[in-house]
Amino acid sequence: MRGLLIALLTAVSSLVAVPAVAAPALRTGFELTGKWTTEAEEQAYLRATGLPVSEIGVTAQGRPIQLVRVGSRTARTVVLFICSQHGDEPAGREACLIRMRSLPRSSSVTYLFVPNANPDGRVLDTRGNSLGTDINRDHLLLRSAEARAMAEVIRDWKPDVIHDLHEFGPSAPYYVKDVLWLWPRNLNVSDGVHSLSETLSRSYVRPAVEAAGRTSGVYGIYVDPVTGEPIRQVAGDHQERILRNTGGLKHGMGLLVETNDTGTPAFRVESHLKALDGTQSFVGSNQAAIESATARSRAVRTGPVYFGGADNQPPDPSDVVATPPCGYVLTGAEYREFGDELALHGITSQYLRGGDRIVPLKQEARALIPLLLDARADEPLLKAQPVAQC
């Protein structure tokens, strides 16, 4: 009887629910301490997310440059976030680390993050990388490991949207907003990509940050703090070496977002998170239009080539080539020296008798080729020989 009673009591006790010990919430070093996430904390956090993380390059000091994927490899739309190219602008990196854990892992959108686009600069707290290169001025010539890694990602994943996260320092009395944004202004960007990029900035990112109580405006324009009137443009509008322009030339809706680093760290990170909300809303509401615009941009196009000017500055007539060449010829030696950079940009060439190569304009990378190979460009990779017939 005693044995039966013990057995019954044991059975009943097994039915009583035992409170589960809740798993600790995943948090970045910044969220836990209020201090910028360290290199070791970043790596531990990325492992804990369970997301696919791949190494896309290695810095001069041996740190990995990484790509994090959220969502399917075969989704309809690809969105790329480039976080903190400048090492002394850490808020964007923190926002990316936070945001990646909450995105849907199964949807019609693939989200890609380069969560720390300048690992050496972040450790050193410098704008440039450990060799002093400003990565956001290197997306054309690709001299840095960091820019090369990003070029490879853009070539292989063909992102439809590229959101670039930065911060700006005090420049009183002109830069007085909390968040600034800007689209690709290079005139060689296709009309559809340019138009939707400006829509992304003005109609999605702007209301997203302003609904959260932030002030915002167009980046690169000095504004009189009293009258609110623009005084002059100071940012490099059309420069193809800057990612927002390079991204547009490579068929993606480009967007630069800058937060004011005079605010508290939490305010700066939250500002970037609100801007990310705007981009996500834009993608969710405009997938068909985005896909159509990128497809038209990638198609073989005709028309003039611009070596100057911007969407807010008419080009000098001498910077407009109404009838571009059919292509550019590289000697065998030039191709051996610069072929890697052309390949990273997704530019194809054809072998000519004698060992020379011809790069025809009639290909997906048309908008970028003259800016890399023509002597009239601001910063060509090399000055190749233009030819009228291919």
- Same structural domain for residues 81 and 203? yes
- 112 belongs to a structural domain: yes
Cα 321 vs. chain centroid, distance in angstroms? 29
- 252 belongs to a structural domain: yes
Q: Pull the structure tokens for residue 99.
A: 């945001």
How many distinct structural domains can be found in the chain?
2
Contacts of 311 (CB under 8 A, 6+ apart): 185, 187, 194, 237
- Same structural domain for residues 359 and 269? no
- Same structural domain for residues 116 and 262? yes
- Same structural domain for residues 277 and 363? no
CB atoms within 10 A of CB 325: 21
CATH of the domain at 150: 3.40.630.10
Strands 305-306 and 320-321: antiparallel
Nearest to 68 by CA among 91, 44, 101, 38: 101
- Predicted confidence (pLDDT) per residue in 152-206, tens digit: 999 999 999 999 999 998 765 667 899 999 999 999 999 999 999 999 999 999 9
Range of the domain at 358: 324-387
- Same structural domain for residues 196 and 331? no
- Same structural domain for residues 292 and 346? no
CA distance to 35, 90, 91, 369, 388, per residue, from 166 (Å): 18, 8, 8, 27, 42
Q: What SS3 class is residue 91?
A: helix
- Same structural domain for residues 352 and 284? no
Q: Is-catalytic flag, 89?
A: no
- 58 belongs to a structural domain: yes
pLDDT one digit per residue (tens) for the chain, 390 residues: 434 433 433 433 333 343 444 446 899 999 999 999 999 999 999 999 999 999 999 999 999 999 999 999 999 999 999 999 999 999 999 999 999 999 999 889 999 999 999 999 999 999 999 999 999 999 999 999 999 999 999 999 999 999 999 999 876 566 789 999 999 999 999 999 999 999 999 999 999 999 999 999 999 887 777 777 777 777 667 899 999 999 999 999 989 999 999 999 999 999 999 999 999 999 999 999 999 999 999 998 899 999 999 998 899 999 999 999 999 999 999 999 999 999 999 999 999 988 999 999 999 999 999 999 999 999 999 999 999 998
- 365 belongs to a structural domain: yes
- 309 belongs to a structural domain: no
Q: Which residues on adjacent β-strands are paired with residue 166?
A: 258
Last residue of a domain, one of 257, 281, 298: 298
- Same structural domain for residues 44 and 156? yes
How far apart are the C-alpha atoms of 287 and 112, rounded to whole Å?
Answer: 16
- 13 belongs to a structural domain: no
Contacts of 253 (CB under 8 A, 6+ apart): 160, 161, 162, 183, 193, 196, 197, 200, 247, 290, 293, 294
- Same structural domain for residues 66 and 140? yes
- Same structural domain for residues 247 and 378? no
Catalytic residue among 89, 152, 167, 258: 258
